[in-house]
């Protein structure tokens, strides 16, 4: 009887330990990547967190605004290319750069980011500013403005400091807004296949502005991202509703950008 009781206690403890680990595993689980057809294989879209996304295409892996520590990128292949949009810590995160494999990887940045990068990354930086382009791994990258309105000296995101990016990948045009408000340069975009559009107050714009802009430049697919503000998460479901009530042809993809532990 004593042996049975002992074994029962051991089994109970093992069961409790296993269940205690489950919430943590669920918190770390990443959403499955989306697939978008291109003229040279699929473009994989892997949401990471906040303004960070990983794109995979033609055997290459692109990290956009790597942030949040190495754990966020666990299980994802090391980058072949890194894009950074702005100087703020949720975009340019030296601790995350230090924690992931970046040896020999080109880092595409605006000049303001290049000026603040740790010295060890200076030789890896490819500097392009608004209106300029570079080609990396058969991907054309164009930098476009991202800024707040009205344009003031104390703006969180003054015009010309940061970059939004348009990537041409396998015949598809992918727009990454960065921290932008509802600016004319976004509204004037043409032939965008995939758009990542920020919407968090007071840093970028609200969902009404974002929906209005998206309805004007009409991307085929839009991902609301970067939607955590000072008052919590923006209502991206309402954003989707606003867009699709006026244009059902725009596919709004809602994905999990914020693990449960970050919502608390």
Q: Cα dihedral sign for 104, 126, 135, 89?
A: positive
Q: Average pLDDT of 32-61?
A: 96
Question: How far from chain centre, in Å, is Cα 209?
Answer: 19
pLDDT tens across 71-106, in order? Answer: 999 999 999 999 999 999 899 999 999 999 999 999
CA angle 38, 43, 47 (to 5 degrees): 150
The domain locations on the chain are 33-263
The CATH number that domain 33-263 falls under is: 3.60.15.10
Q: Report, in angstroms and rounded to the nearest whole number, the Rg of the chain calculated over CA atoms.
A: 21
The pLDDT confidence band at residue 39, using thresholds 50, 70 and 90, is very high
Q: Average pLDDT of 9-26?
A: 42
pLDDT at 246: 98
* Pairwise CA distance, residues 209 & 234, whole Å: 12
The pLDDT confidence band at residue 21, using thresholds 50, 70 and 90, is very low
pLDDT tens across 211-236, in order? Answer: 999 999 999 999 999 999 998 999 99
DSSP string, the chain: -HHHHHHHHHHHHHHHHHHHHHHHHHHHPPPPPEEEEEBTEEEEEEEEETTEEEEEETTEEEEES--S-GGGGTTSPPPSEEE---SSTTTS-HHHHHHS--TT-EEEE-HHHHHHS-GGGGGGEEE--TT-EEEETTEEEEEE----SS--TT-SS-TTTS-EEEEEETTEEEEE--S--S-HHHHT--S-SEEEEE--TTTS--HHHHHHHHHHH--SEEEEE--EETTEE--HHHHHHHHHHH-TTSEE-----S-HHHH-
pLDDT at 23: 35
Q: What is the number of other CB atoms lying within 10 angstroms of the CB of residue 150?
A: 6
């Amino acid at each position: 009887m004593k042996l049975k009781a002992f074994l029962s206690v051991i089994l109970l403890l093992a069961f409790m330990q296993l269940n205690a680990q489950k919430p943590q595993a669920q918190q770390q689980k990443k959403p499955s990547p989306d697939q978008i057809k291109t003229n040279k294989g699929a473009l994989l879209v892997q949401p990471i967190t906040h303004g960070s996304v990983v794109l995979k295409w033609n055997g290459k892996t692109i990290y956009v605004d790597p942030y949040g520590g190495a754990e966020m990128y666990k299980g994802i292949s090391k980058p072949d290319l890194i894009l950074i949009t702005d100087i703020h810590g949720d975009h340019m995160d030296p601790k995350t750069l230090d924690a992931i494999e970046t040896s020999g990887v080109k880092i595409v940045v605006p000049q303001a980011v290049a000026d603040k990068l740790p010295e060890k990354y200076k030789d890896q930086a490819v500097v392009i500013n608004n209106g300029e382009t570079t080609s990396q791994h058969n991907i054309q990258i164009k930098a476009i403005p991202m800024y707040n309105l009205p344009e003031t000296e104390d703006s969180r995101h003054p015009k010309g400091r940061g970059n939004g990016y348009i990537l041409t990948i396998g015949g598809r045009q992918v727009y990454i807004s960065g921290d932008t408000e509802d600016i004319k340069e976004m509204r004037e975009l043409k032939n965008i296949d995939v758009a990542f559009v920020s919407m968090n107050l007071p840093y970028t714009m609200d969902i009404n502005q974002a929906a209005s802009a998206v309805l004007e430049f009409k991307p085929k697919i839009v991902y609301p991202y970067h939607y955590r503000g000072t008052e919590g998460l923006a209502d991206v479901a309402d954003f989707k509703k606003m867009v699709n009530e006026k244009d059902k042809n725009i596919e709004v993809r809602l994905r999990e950008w914020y693990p449960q532990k970050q919502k608390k």
